[in-house]
Every structure is written in structure tokens, then in C-alpha cells.
Structure 1
Amino acid sequence: MTSRHIPCRAVLFDCDGVLVDSTGPAEDAWRQWAIEHGLDPEVVLDGMHGVRSQDTVAKYLPEDQRAAGNARIEEIEVSGAEGTVPIAGIPALLAGLPENWAVVTSATLPLLRARLAAAGLPLPSVVVTAELVGAGKPDPEGYLLAARRLGVPIGECVVVEDSAAGIQAGLAAGAGHVLGVGKEEHLDLAHSAVPDLTGVSWDGAGLRVG
């Protein structure tokens, strides 16, 4: 198979679905949360991927109950993070990267730490979590902030995403390339896509996709 080169100076990763597979633990957590709040779990699950927990909570709870609702889903998700595993190919890719990568996630910092630890993955020096942005994905704020903190123009960054909201955020930010991960139809929105990160590596001047 012929490999291709995606030039960049930095790589900005989403977490869930890109670095780690947390689908089972996350859906179990939201299912429990929905039942506790008298909501249809399947309706809640349908819209929770790729967006901040606080934005999901705000869709279903009145304003005076949102703080407690946010605290509760955080508690359930962090306590259930042990079922999280790395996405295929990501340990090798991260091991080969210099200090030029960041994580931009809709999760909170405690949840990000818990999931990366459960998957045995490192926490980079630059992370942008839900607490640090005024608007979550598909707003580009998180990716723009990560690029600034790395000191690299966003046009020289590759964004790696799996959700429609995340891909839209990367495109809106003006990333040089948005690489989709997975097999969902919305990955057609990205510049290119791979089923997982097996065979993706750093070649010194960008990503090499095998």
C-alpha cells in the first residue's frame, strides 16, 4: 500500500474515539444519569457524543438543576473510567511524536486524566478541556486555543477527530488538515479519514499515513 504524507508542525487530538475508546463506559454513565433524572436513555445517548457534558445536561434540565446534574454525570463518568482502552495504533503514534501535540476534548480535566490513565496513555503538556472554553465543539475555540498554546499557526496543525461536531470545529478553526477516525458517514466532512490510527506515524515533517 502506498503511504501518503500530511505536512504539519503539530497534531491536535480529540480524546474519546481518537485516543481512547470510552464508548462503553460513557454510554453506561449517561444511561445511568438519564434513568436517575427520569429521562429516556436512548434519547440522551443519541446526542451526547462529541459535545461537552454541560451542554448535554442543559438540554434536559432546568437551569436551577444543571450544576447538580453536571456534578453527577462527572462523578459517574470518572468512577467508571476503568473500562477505557486505547484506540488501535495510538500508543505507537504518541511514542513517536515530539512535544508538538495537544488534546482538545469536550471532557473535563478530571475525566480526561482518568480516561488517559485507564488506557495507559500520557497527558501532554497542552490540553484544552471543557472548563477552558466558552463554547464547545462545533465551535472552533478549543482548537484555536490549543494551537496558540503550542505556538503553532492553526493552518500548520492537523486536527484528528471522530465526531461530526469535532470535525466541524477543526474545519471552522482553519486547520491545515482534518483527519477523521472511524467508519461513520460524517467522516466524509473531513479532508481524509482512516478506520483507526494503525500505520499512522510521525515522519519528522508531518504525519505519514500508511
Structure 2
Amino acid sequence: MPAAAVLFDNDGVLVDSTAAGEAAWREWAVRHRLDPRAVLTGVHGRRSRETVARFLPADEVDPATAEIDALELDTADQTVAIKGASDFVASVPGHLRAVVTSASRALAVARLAAAGIPLPDVLVAAEDVTAGKPAPDPYLRAAELLGVPSAECVVLEDSANGIRSARAAGVGAVFGIGDVAVELGCDVVVPDLTRVRWTPAGIVPAAGHEVGPGAPPGR
């Protein structure tokens, strides 16, 4: 698949922070006398402030957002790399890759470091855009910073909000990562980044693997 640049979501694509992140949100929900299950349904692929605003009055959003951001940062050291992520990221030239996340910059950097993923030169985090995913702003901003038209970029995503953001930004293609991306409208879905590799011509299947358009992850 041709790709002049690669735009990576972070959580669920490069790093596995699910257990730690959900534990932090559960604690936050209990503190605010909310149903943790209801809160968790709105977390993935969304900035923390926007999730908080769904459940609390406007005058409580700022302090409550700072609270959950601190809780998540405290658990960042529990983050591990998604299989194949370190090698795949390292293979893409630095000026042709960016990480685009709904997390704060501090949290994204901490999770990438804990997982041993090379830190990118271009990182678009929650505070870098006015509107977060599913708006197109994060991916448009990343393409702009790389100096590559969004239509020539490939996005690697795993959430519905992230995929909608990428599509709205007019990217060339969307690779879904993991079972959660199946049936979310990706061009291709793979279990992890061991199944594909980077070449100067774009992203191709790794040796011994086949990748079909829109196919669910093979095991």
C-alpha cells in the first residue's frame, strides 16, 4: 500500500496501556460516584477532557480532567509495546512518521518510553489541537508538520473515533490494528505490526504473511 508517510495512533497500535488506563478510569469513576462501566464506554480514542465532560458539570471539568490525567500518568510505567511495534516504527524514517494521540503529551511520552518505542520527532497530542478525534484536526496537523499531503499518508488505528478522524482528514488509507478494528471500515486489518513492514514504496506484507483488503486478523 503506497505511503509517503505513516501516522500512528499510540494506545492500542504502538503500546498496550489498556489495563493500566482502565484501572485509572475506574478509580476516577468511583471517586466521582459514577458507574465505571458507563465511563469506560466513552474512553477509547477520545481526549480525557471530552470523556470527563460527558459525566460532570462544566464547572468540574477542569479539576476532574487534571485528576484523571494524573492517575493515568501514575500508571504509565505499566505500559508495554504492541507486538512488532518497536521494529516497525524504527524502520520508518523519522521525517516520515508521526504519532497522533488523544492522550496528553506527557502521558504519550511516558507510555512510549515505558514500552521502549522510539519517540517521534512529530507528536500530535491532546493539547495540540482545538478539536480531538473523531474530528480530522489531529491527523491534518500531523500531515502538515511532516510536510506531506494527508492523501499521501497511511494511518494505523484501532478505535472508531480514530478511524473516523483519519477518514475525515482524507488520508490515503487506514490500517486497522487488532480485533477491535474489524468491521470499523478500515482498508486492511492486521493483528499487530509483525504482519507488515515498511519499504520506501509503502507498507507491504511481512514475509510469510498475506494481507487482504478489509480482512479480519488472521491467527
1:184 is displaced (CA, Å) by 2.3
Matched to 1:123, the amino acid is: L
Q: Distance in 1 between matches of 2:155 and 2:11?
A: 14
Matched to 1:32, the amino acid is: E
Aligned residue number for residue 17 of structure 2: 22
Aligned residue number for residue 45 of structure 1: 40
Aligned residue number for residue 3 of structure 1: none
Q: Distance in 2 between matches of 1:101 and 1:175?
A: 14
Aligned residue number for residue 134 of structure 1: 130
RMSD between aligned residues: 1.0
The 5 A counterparts of 1:184-195 are: 184=180, 186-195=182-191
Q: Distance in 1 between matches of 2:181 and 2:163?
A: 12
Percent identical among aligned pairs is 53
Contact 2:182/2:189, CA 8 A, preserved across alignment: no
Aligned residue number for residue 101 of structure 1: 97
Provide the secondary structure at the position in 2 that maps to 1:189. Answer: coil
Contact 2:90/2:118, CA 8 A, preserved across alignment: no
The 5 A counterparts of 1:144-155 are: 144-155=140-151
1:164 is displaced (CA, Å) by 0.5
Aligned residue number for residue 163 of structure 1: 159
Runs of 4+ in 1 over 2 A off after TM superposition: 184-188
Report the TM-score, using the length of structure 2 for normalisation.
0.91
Decide which of 46, 60, 64 is 1:65's aligned counterpart: 60
Aligned residue number for residue 89 of structure 1: 84
Q: Distance in 2 between matches of 1:182 and 1:71?
A: 30
Matched to 1:137, the amino acid is: K
The 5 A counterparts of 1:169-184 are: 169-184=165-180
Report the TM-score, using the length of structure 1 for normalisation.
0.95
Of 101-110 and 186-195, deviating more is 186-195
Matched to 1:125, the amino acid is: D
Show structure 1 runs of 5+ residues with no match: 1-5
Contact 1:180/1:187, CA 8 A, preserved across alignment: no
Provide the secondary structure at the position in 2 that maps to 1:106. Answer: coil
Deviations 1:38-75 (A, max 9, x none): 10111101111110000000001111111110110011
Of 183-192 and 131-140, deviating more is 183-192
Aligned residue number for residue 50 of structure 2: 55
Q: Distance in 1 between matches of 2:31 and 2:104?
A: 21
Q: Distance in 2 between matches of 1:141 and 1:12?
A: 13
